[in-house]
DNA sequence: TCAAAAGTGTTGTAATTACACCCATGT
DNA sequence: ACATGGGTGTAATTACAACACTTTTGA
């Protein structure tokens, strides 16, 4: 704030209303072939106890990005998580008790890393995206927009490091993509397409938990590409 | 507001700050082979007189969509304009005088329809996207995100009705696409690709203003497809 | 007549798809 | 021994890009 004249400030802005602005987080995780969603039972009225997204209010001196990070950190203990803005939701009656404008985010987290205790401490739980309960307010709409945005991102950039363990097999990666796009993909074609991107590094270790033959582990090749380089379409959308 | 107990409401929300929430509109138009941007000289301090996007504050009982429509209508006289949300911009210091969270939109308008008087009445003017002045605050960033979003939309859906007159030639449509994507496209290939979508209807009238031979007019074929059907990639992104 | 846009056709290459098929091994 | 996923190869199809060529007509 550079202006030192409060009167002028009021003159300029005072006639306009102010609003509560919240962030709501669609937290995606991946496990057992299913894209999961972390949901919370709302802790206060109205709609207390019903499932909802993780949310919180934007404070005086933080951006919505910072607010989303803060809320995610405080509630799940997780730090340095990939997040992306979905959109702002602003219908005047979208919440029932007061007018709240919400800026929605989606986050991608690795279920392994994850501290189960701190999740359950709030009564939160993971739900398959295919089998989630109805959510409060307009949170169902937020989830579908978030999923659409995730699909779009995954279609142009390899998502995997964000949702899988450090090292993963190509079958695990395909499982993730099948979960995100809610359809099956040809194993051979998927493998070739993904490897052709040249961003994965093969390790010598093999994973034997999912197949008898064992599959090579892969991880991101750090020195392959600059991080935000366009790597082309991965799956046809 | 369903809650009749103000005390409870304060208890729930009172501890959280409220914010000014504005909408900023990136208004795209198309003329003479160039994608244009409608800019306004800011009418009050700070940064008075510098070029900025059209903006305004969200009122008590309107959504951001409604606010964007209202502001566009009031300032340009235009109604029923295609608009799409870009994103929310929320850095605490993005404006200098007070903290304002902005929800950005882009709008597509036909320059023909357009009432010149009401535009100039505010000192507004059209600028080519390739040659626009620097804007105040973070408006340059908003413009580039809006353009990216427009490009993405145009890559998957035929934009034309929104930015061109009711009837248009395929060369005009190509000119629009070249302006949006800031590169030239092969006339023959563009024509074939667009016609293969099966959403355009050819008229018998010809346009002779742009070529000696004359080119057939086309328009959207209303009963061709349901409006939100996926019509596939139009240009390679 | 000739430049310039309209419109059609052809051709080589790349991407996508749908498979077939062999490999390795835990049960 | 065999079912299961791992991994490679191939062939048909489709999409794309480049560009040649023909048509039309105002200047």
The verdict on A112 and A206 lying in the same domain is no
| CA closest to D9 C1', residue | A188
Question: Which chain B residues contact residue A98 at CB under 8 A?
Answer: 1, 3, 9, 12-13
Please identify among residues 110-169 of chain B the ones whose CB lies closer than 8 Å to any CB of chain A.
none
Domain CATH code at residue A132: 3.90.79.10
| pLDDT in the model for residue B1 | 40
Q: How many Å apart are CA B219 and CA B210, to the nearest integer?
A: 17
Q: Which of B103, B136, B155 is the last residue of a domain?
A: B155
- Mind listing the pLDDT tens digit for each residue in B168-211? 999 999 999 999 999 999 999 999 999 998 899 999 877 778 88
Kindly report the average pLDDT of chain B as a whole number.
86
Judge if A29 and A91 occupy the same domain.
yes
Provide the 10 A C-beta neighbour count for residue B32: 9
Number of domains in chain A: 2
Of the CA atoms within 13 Å of residue B151, those in its CB half-sphere come to 14
Mean pLDDT value across residues B12-31? 91
Nearest-CA residue relative to C1' of C4: B211
What CATH number is attached to the domain comprising B214? 1.10.10.10
**Residue-level pLDDT at A228:** 39
Work out the number of other CB atoms within 10 angstroms of the CB of residue A221.
12
Q: Is B188 exposed, middle or buried (0-12, 13-18, 19+ CB in 10 A)?
A: exposed
Which residues on chain A are in Cβ contact (under 8 Å) with B61? 92
Contact A87/B at CB under 8 A: yes
Do B142 and B180 reside in the same domain of the chain? Answer: no
Give the distance from CA B209 to its chain's centroid: 27
The series of mean pLDDT values per 10 residues for chain A, 237 residues long, is 45 83 96 92 81 96 97 88 96 93 95 75 91 96 97 89 89 94 94 92 84 92 56 58
Tell whether A73 is covered by a domain: yes
Does residue A10 belong to any structural domain of this protein? no
Residues A149 and A206 reside in one and the same domain:
no
- Asked if B141 and B99 sit in the same domain, the reply is yes
* Residue A104: CB atoms within 10 Å: 28
Residue B86's φ and ψ, nearest 5 degrees, are: -95, -65
Q: Which residue has the higher pLDDT, A207 or B212?
A: B212
| Distance, CA of A206 to CA of A29 (rounded, Å) | 24
In a domain, A110, yes or no: yes
Same domain, B48 and B132: yes
Among B226, B167, B225, B161, which Cα is nearest to B196's? B225
Structure token pair of residue B31: 């003329």
Distance B121 CA to C27 C1' (A): 82
pLDDT of residue B176: 94
Q: Cβ contact (<8 Å) for B60 and A9? A: no
The answer to whether the Cβ–Cβ distance between A58 and B103 falls below 8 Å is: no
First to last CA, chain A: 45
Nearest to A90 among B45, B96, B103 (CB): B103
What's the CA–C1' distance between B11 and D12, in Å?
68
Range of the domain at A42: 17-155
Q: Where are the alpha helices (DSSP H) in chain B?
A: 6-13, 64-76, 116-120, 139-156, 170-181, 187-196
Q: Which residues of B touch A21 (CB under 8 A)?
A: 18-19, 21, 90, 101
Based on the domain organization, do B200 and B90 belong to the same domain? no
- Poorest-pLDDT segment among A41-50, B86-95, B150-159: A41-50
A62 and A113, same domain (yes or no): yes
Q: Regarding beta strands A51-52 and A54-57, do their DSSP bridges make them parallel or antiparallel, or are they unpaired?
A: unpaired
Same domain for A164 and A146 = no
Q: How confident is the model at residue B12 (pLDDT cuts 50, 70, 90)?
A: low
């Amino acid at each position: 704030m550079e202006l030192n004249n409060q009167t002028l400030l009021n003159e300029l802005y005072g006639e306009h209303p102010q609003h509560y602005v919240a962030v709501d987080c669609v937290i995606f995780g991946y496990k057992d072939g299913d894209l999961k969603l972390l949901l919370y039972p709302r802790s206060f009225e109205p709609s207390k106890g019903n499932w909802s997204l993780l949310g919180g209010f934007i404070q005086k001196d933080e951006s919505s990005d910072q607010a989303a990070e803060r809320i995610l950190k405080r509630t799940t203990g997780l730090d340095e998580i990939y997040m992306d803005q979905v959109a702002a939701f602003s219908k005047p009656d979208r919440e029932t008790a007061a007018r709240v404008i919400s800026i929605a985010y989606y986050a991608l987290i690795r279920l392994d890393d994850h501290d189960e205790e701190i999740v359950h401490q709030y009564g939160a739980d993971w739900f398959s995206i295919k089998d989630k309960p109805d959510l409060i307010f307009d949170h169902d709409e937020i989830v579908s927009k978030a999923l659409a945005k995730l699909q779009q991102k995954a279609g142009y950039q390899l998502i995997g490091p964000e949702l899988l363990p450090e090292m993963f097999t190509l079958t695990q990666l395909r499982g993730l993509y099948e979960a995100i796009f809610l359809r099956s993909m040809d194993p051979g074609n998927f493998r070739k397409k993904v490897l052709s991107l040249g961003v994965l590094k093969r390790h010598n270790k093999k994973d034997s938990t999912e197949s008898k033959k064992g599959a090579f582990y892969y991880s991101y090749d750090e020195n392959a590409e600059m991080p935000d380089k366009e790597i082309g379409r991965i799956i046809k959308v």
